[in-house]
Amino acid sequence: MFVDVATAADRPNMVVVMVDDMGFSDIGPYGSEIPTPNLDALAAGGVKFSQFYNTGRCCPTRASLLTGLYSHQAGIGWMTADQGAPGYAGRLNNKCVTIAEVLREAGYFTAITGKWHVGANHDVNPWGRGFDRNLTLAAGGVHFSNQTGSKGGASLFLNGETIALDDPRANPPWYGCDLWTDQGIDFVDEAIAANKPFFWYLAHTAPHFPCMAPEETIAKYRGKYMAGWDKLREERYARQIASGLIDPNWKLEARPEEVPAWDSLSPNEQSRYDDMMAIYAAMIDQVDKNIGKLVDALRERNQLDNTIILFLSDNGGNAEAGVTGKYNGANPGDPHSDVFIGRCWAHLNNTPFRKYKHYNHEGGTATPLIAHWPRRIKPLSGPSGWIETPTHVIDIMATCVDLGGATYPQSYQGNAITPMQGQSLKPLMVGAGNFADRPLFWEHEGNAAIRVGNRKLVRQGMNGDWELLDLKADRTEQNDLASEMPEQVAALSTQWQKWAKEANVLPKPKNGKKRKGRKQPKQAAKAKG
């Protein structure tokens, strides 16, 4: 049932900004040395969450964010290949609804720019899942209009139509952060003209590999990483303690054995690594610059006061490409290069936590979350300044439904809909109302975890041993209590197994075969509205 917009003038606009493969400590409010003045301003004028979680991987996190379900319930327990099991279909299924579908029914103008990656290879696209407007990629990894290499043949999708990266309607030459933001602002103008509140999902492709950025931005950071990951990690950790983000009793994880000491490297090796991280820092810089552009645009349109902006990452820093990373191309960082920052810098990205993207340890699943809404959210007072309640990406749907005065359906287009799993963050953000305690769950590629209160049970791989952790005393996961408390391990693992069966984590695909989806059609149907 549609809501009369005239009777809902106080409902906020909503902008959800998700970045791709950014670590927990890569922005200023969470300890980074990379200048992020615009995100700093959002954090100072809003609230910051210290224990917000994603799923540890891009596709599952996007599925959970969009649907308010655990990713296996939405059909994307792994990536976008159909693996022949209900939780692993590789696309959003018909038992879920998206935020866009729910809010559009409530009278919102809905738009998405950037990375989709929840089933376009199976013909599941934004224009068929509730978005009035879109400028999107089927997957990610595209940063320049003239990009070559593995992503050079990608297409854009503009309001349901397939177009080339350099199509004049995208105003080339462009850098991705600018393109997704500029086009989204145009969609905001359409919403204002239609006198509708808007929901805009801004899904950046930065700082995901291949790492590349404008040369003038990279140049700002060359040489700044010659200090090395050992010293820079200690400096991030100190800033995290000073800000109240990290309990000083949580020990900083020692450098893993496979990561060399910075001082053991030759000058040439150090220079190579410095340039890799300079490219990555430039991508964070570009994200932040466009946060400023977004905020300025909303302010100029008198929309900022009643717009809630949420900023988060889809997983922890990415250690793919191993210790050496990748540093290929005549001019690394340009549109024709191939750069992965690798495990050594991912160790810095995820300060102070263990592990990386893919894993369910804190380094894989912990993300910044900043919430800014001048009309209702006021900065926290007191010594901490952080919302410390454990929260999860499944909570974004419930928050949007709550703030938008929408109704989450029991059925949609003839299909029974799985009840949303999250809770509205509004009580935490505005300081009024209750936010109930509940368990949180994870599974990806056999990695698994459950958190109940401050107890966390986590394993690495299907056959890994369960670790039992006390996150209040040891969020950096240094002290495994499993041998001391086997009864807690048994109880929590049983609880996880029960959830896994109910949430389509089990059964796992029998042979793990990665079935391909259908190729994306060259010309897609036009979007409605």
Residue whose tokens read 């400096």: 235
Nearest to 396, CA basis, from 82, 75, 103: 103
More confident residue, 359 or 379: 359
506-528: average pLDDT: 51
- Catalytic residue, from 72, 96, 117, 372: name it: 117
Query: Residue type for 336, please?
Result: H
SS3 142: coil
Q: Are 466 and 457 in contact (CB under 8 A)?
A: yes
pLDDT score, position 528:
31
- Catalytic residue, from 58, 59, 344, 400: name it: 58
* Residue 57: CB atoms within 10 Å: 27
* Two structure tokens written together for 166: 């350099």
The pLDDT confidence band at residue 10, using thresholds 50, 70 and 90, is confident
Average pLDDT, the chain: 94
SS3 350: coil
Question: In whole angstroms, what is the distance from residue 58 CA to residue 66 CA?
Answer: 12
The pLDDT confidence band at residue 4, using thresholds 50, 70 and 90, is very low
148: exposed, middle or buried (C-beta count within 10 Å: 0-12, 13-18, 19+)? middle
* Two structure tokens written together for 205: 């492709």
pLDDT score, position 293:
98
Identify the H or E element spanning 104: helix 99-105
28-44: average pLDDT: 98
pLDDT score, position 523:
32
Residue whose tokens read 């999902």: 201
* Residue 382: CB atoms within 10 Å: 7
207-234: average pLDDT: 98
Cα torsion at 155, 156, 162, 167 (round to 10°)? Answer: -90
pLDDT score, position 149:
94
Nearest to 56, CA basis, from 514, 343, 367, 420: 367
The pLDDT confidence band at residue 382, using thresholds 50, 70 and 90, is low
The pLDDT confidence band at residue 470, using thresholds 50, 70 and 90, is very high
Percentage, residues of the chain above pLDDT 70: 94
Q: What pLDDT digit, counting tens, does each position of 245-285 carry?
A: 999 999 999 999 999 999 999 999 999 999 999 999 999 99
Q: Is the pLDDT of residue 518 over 60?
A: no
SS3 484: coil
Nearest to 452, CA basis, from 422, 482, 472: 472
Percentage, residues of the chain above pLDDT 90: 91
26-33: average pLDDT: 98
Q: What pLDDT digit, counting tens, does each position of 401-458 carry?
A: 999 999 999 999 999 999 999 999 999 999 999 999 999 999 999 999 999 999 999 9
Whether 177 is a known active-site residue: answer no
Q: Is the pLDDT of residue 241 over 60?
A: yes
* Residue 160: CB atoms within 10 Å: 19
Q: What pLDDT digit, counting tens, does each position of 346-362 carry?
A: 999 999 999 999 999 99
Which residues, in sequence order, are CB contacts of 373 under 8 Å at separation 6+? 12, 46, 306, 307, 308, 309, 429
Q: Are 114 and 10 in contact (CB under 8 A)?
A: no
The pLDDT confidence band at residue 381, using thresholds 50, 70 and 90, is low
Local structure of residue 518 (DSSP, 8 states): P
pLDDT score, position 527:
31
* Two structure tokens written together for 361: 């340890």
368-383: average pLDDT: 89
pLDDT score, position 36:
98
Question: In whole angstroms, what is the distance from residue 162 CA to residue 504 CA?
Answer: 33
pLDDT score, position 5:
36
pLDDT score, position 410:
97
pLDDT score, position 510:
78
Q: What is the pTM assigned to this prediction?
A: 0.95
Q: What pLDDT digit, counting tens, does each position of 282-325 carry?
A: 999 999 999 999 999 999 999 999 999 999 999 999 999 999 99
Whether 143 is a known active-site residue: answer no
98-110: average pLDDT: 98
121-130: average pLDDT: 95
Local structure of residue 65 (DSSP, 8 states): H
Q: What pLDDT digit, counting tens, does each position of 493-511 carry?
A: 999 999 999 999 999 987 6
Question: In whole angstroms, what is the distance from residue 313 CA to residue 58 CA?
Answer: 9
Please state whether 182 falls in left (phi above 0), alpha (psi between -120 and 50) or beta. Answer: alpha
Question: In whole angstroms, what is the distance from residue 302 CA to residue 9 CA?
Answer: 14
Q: Are 263 and 227 in contact (CB under 8 A)?
A: no
Identify the H or E element spanning 327: strand 326-328
